[in-house]
Amino acid sequence: MIGIEGSGWPAPTSNSSRRSPFFPSSDNYTADVDLPTTVAGRFGYARDKWLATQKPAWPAPDIELTLFDHGTPVRANSSDWANCWTVGGGGEYAICKNFSLGVEYD
């Protein structure tokens, strides 16, 4: 079995804010992770009602970093796609013709 899958969701998944290690009283860093998307290939071997799969994937979230200096109203902003990779695997069992139960780990 060979296949490809893709996923993406527009909602922000995380937002964190931290004080600067260099100027903690005046500087603040914020990181937003938006639009996480993933493209993955699936390779598998089927036998009877069992299917074992491997899954190399390319997740690429949009990450936006912001620095704000409260002492002087200076704001710096940067946004870029973070390219990375992951691998996973799993297995499925066909309970009936149109229904299977599976476990996957990335």
Cα gap 5→69, rounded to integer Å:
42
Q: Residue 43 is part of which domain span?
A: 2-95
pLDDT tens digits for range 14-63: 677 777 777 777 788 888 887 788 899 989 999 999 999 999 999 888 88
Is 44 inside any structural domain?
A: yes
Residue 60 CB neighbours (<10 A): 17
Q: Is 103 inside any structural domain?
A: no
Q: Say what the pTM is.
A: 0.58
Tokens of 103: 């476990």
CA atoms within 13 A on the CB side of 8: 12
Per-residue pLDDT at 14: 67
Q: Where are the beta strands (DSSP E) in the chain?
A: 2-8, 14-19, 27-34, 37-47, 50-59, 62-69, 74-81, 86-96, 99-105
Tell me the percentage of the chain whose pLDDT exceeds 90. Answer: 35
Q: Has residue 101 been placed in a domain?
A: no
Would residue 100 count as lying in a domain?
no
Q: How many domains does the chain have?
A: 1
In this structure, is residue 52 part of a structural domain?
A: yes
Mean pLDDT confidence for 64-90: 86
Whether 104 is in a domain gets the answer no
